[in-house]
């Protein structure tokens, strides 16, 4: 596989054998118009929380979509982790479910096709990134792909008490996501949230960061094994239904947007009260600096104009 691409504004500094390089959505930074890009929303279910302690992917899903919410392709399969499957209380995947499922290495070509030319998206994408690094990069998935975390984005742009995917979806749009704790169900919910975020922004959102990467590489033809209950294709996310719903039930977006955005780098981790306070204070400080800089530029221009006018008057008087 070969990769080509360009780097723009924001990078989280991670290098080496990392699958992702993070960008951000912004109302103030320059970058690509977010509605014009394509996105590959990815979610994984795993046998544990940390691949460094032996946890493996047991299900993965990708929703490839345009910024307007049009779904171009869906991909989902159970994955044979080659270790005992644990965590059934969360994902409901039994040991027998992964029998006959492909291994991670078998589907790297499928993922390369889905990720090519797109920004990878996930809700807490750091989690998916760790498993991509541990299992798929060693199997041939290229590194340095553009990434966007909707969890960091919501914290940066939207004022909520809690930011989990189901709670944020319910507060902002009035509906609870279906298929929670299945890879495809959560990927669809994240895709819906991203489409609504782009649609309801008070100003134009731009993607600032590493550009989408073009990948070469095709599916190996491995036999996939999706969950039966969620294998149906969605062709369009339900933006129309959300917009048409009664105002008292849905669409809490307008009053939730922050007056000025927070630095997404300060919106990672647990984001407790101290973290929120520090991020808001940083945003206020940056805004005051921008306003002071603008005022200085305006004053300098006014003084320069006044000096030019005075010079002109003196010249006219000498004639």
Could you tell me if 202 and 289 lie in one domain? no
Could you tell me if 141 and 51 lie in one domain? yes
Q: In DSSP terms, which residues pair with 149 in a beta bridge?
A: 122
Could you tell me if 106 and 186 lie in one domain? yes
The stretch 24-43 carries a mean pLDDT of: 95
- Give me 209's structure tokens: 């960061």
Could you tell me if 32 and 93 lie in one domain? yes
Distances (CA, A) of 6 to 31, 41, 151, 238: 12, 21, 25, 33
Which of these three, 229, 248, 268, is where a domain ends?
Answer: 268
Answer yes or no: is pLDDT of 141 > 90: yes
Q: Specify the pLDDT at position 179.
A: 77
Over residues 162-190, the pLDDT tens digits come to 999 999 999 998 888 877 889 999 999 99
Which of these three, 246, 268, 290, is where a domain ends?
Answer: 268
Answer yes or no: is pLDDT of 238 > 60: no
Q: Specify the pLDDT at position 26.
A: 95
Could you tell me if 226 and 315 lie in one domain? no
Domain CATH number, residue 253:
3.30.420.10
Answer yes or no: is pLDDT of 125 > 60: yes
Over residues 208-217, the pLDDT tens digits come to 999 999 998 7
Could you tell me if 186 and 312 lie in one domain? no
Domain of 238, in residue numbers: 3-268
Could you tell me if 189 and 239 lie in one domain? yes
Answer yes or no: is pLDDT of 145 > 80: yes
More confident residue, 239 or 58: 58
Could you tell me if 193 and 88 lie in one domain? yes
Over residues 241-281, the pLDDT tens digits come to 334 333 334 467 888 999 989 999 999 988 989 998 999 99
Could you tell me if 240 and 117 lie in one domain? yes
Could you tell me if 203 and 297 lie in one domain? no
Q: Quick one: pLDDT band at residue 57, thresholds 50, 70, 90?
A: very high
Mean of the per-residue pLDDT values for the chain?
A: 84
Could you tell me if 259 and 296 lie in one domain? no
Which of these three, 268, 290, 307, is where a domain ends?
Answer: 268
Q: Is the pTM here over 0.85, yes or no?
A: no
- Please state, in angstroms and rounded to a whole number, the distance separating the CA atoms of residues 252 and 171: 7
**In terms of Cα–Cα distance, which of 150, 152, 60, 165 is closest to 114?**
60
Q: Specify the pLDDT at position 15.
A: 45
Q: In DSSP terms, which residues pair with 215 in a beta bridge?
A: 3
Domain count, the chain: 2
Over residues 279-308, the pLDDT tens digits come to 999 888 887 776 666 655 555 555 555 555
Q: For residues 74 and 233, is the Cβ–Cβ distance under 8 A?
A: yes
Could you tell me if 68 and 37 lie in one domain? yes
More confident residue, 4 or 309: 309
Helices 165-173, 150-157: axis angle to 10 degrees equals 50
Over residues 83-101, the pLDDT tens digits come to 999 999 889 999 999 999 9
Q: Specify the pLDDT at position 239.
A: 52
């Amino acid at each position: 596989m070969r990769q080509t691409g360009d780097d723009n504004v924001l990078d989280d500094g991670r290098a080496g054998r990392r699958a992702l390089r993070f960008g951000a959505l912004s109302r103030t930074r320059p970058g690509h118009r977010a509605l014009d890009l394509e996105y590959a929303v990815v979610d994984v279910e795993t046998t544990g929380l940390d691949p460094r302690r032996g946890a493996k992917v047991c299900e993965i899903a990708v929703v490839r979509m345009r910024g307007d919410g049009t779904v171009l392709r869906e991909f989902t399969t159970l994955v044979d982790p080659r270790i005992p499957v644990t965590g059934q209380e969360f994902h409901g995947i039994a040991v027998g479910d992964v029998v006959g499922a492909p291994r991670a290495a078998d589907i790297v070509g499928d993922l390369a096709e889905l990720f090519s030319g797109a920004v990878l998206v996930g809700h807490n994408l750091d989690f998916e990134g760790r498993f991509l690094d541990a299992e798929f990069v060693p199997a041939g998935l290229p590194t340095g792909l553009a990434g966007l975390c909707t969890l960091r984005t919501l914290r940066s742009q939207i004022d909520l008490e809690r930011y989990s995917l189901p709670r944020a979806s319910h507060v902002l749009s009035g509906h609870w996501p279906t298929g929670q704790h299945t890879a495809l169900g959560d990927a669809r919910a994240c895709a819906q949230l991203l489409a609504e975020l782009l649609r309801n922004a008070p100003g134009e959102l731009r993607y600032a960061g590493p550009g989408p990467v073009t990948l070469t590489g095709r599916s190996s033809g491995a036999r996939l094994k999706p969950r039966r209950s969620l294998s149906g294709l969605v062709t369009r996310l339900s933006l129309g239904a959300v917009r048409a719903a009664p105002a008292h039930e849905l669409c809490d977006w307008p009053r939730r947007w922050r007056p000025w955005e927070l630095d997404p780098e300060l919106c990672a981790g647990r984001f407790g009260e101290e973290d929120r306070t520090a991020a808001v204070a940083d945003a206020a400080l940056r805004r005051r600096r921008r306003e002071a800089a603008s005022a200085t530029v305006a004053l300098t221009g006014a003084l320069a104009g006044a000096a030019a006018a005075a010079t002109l008057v003196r010249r006219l008087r000498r004639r």
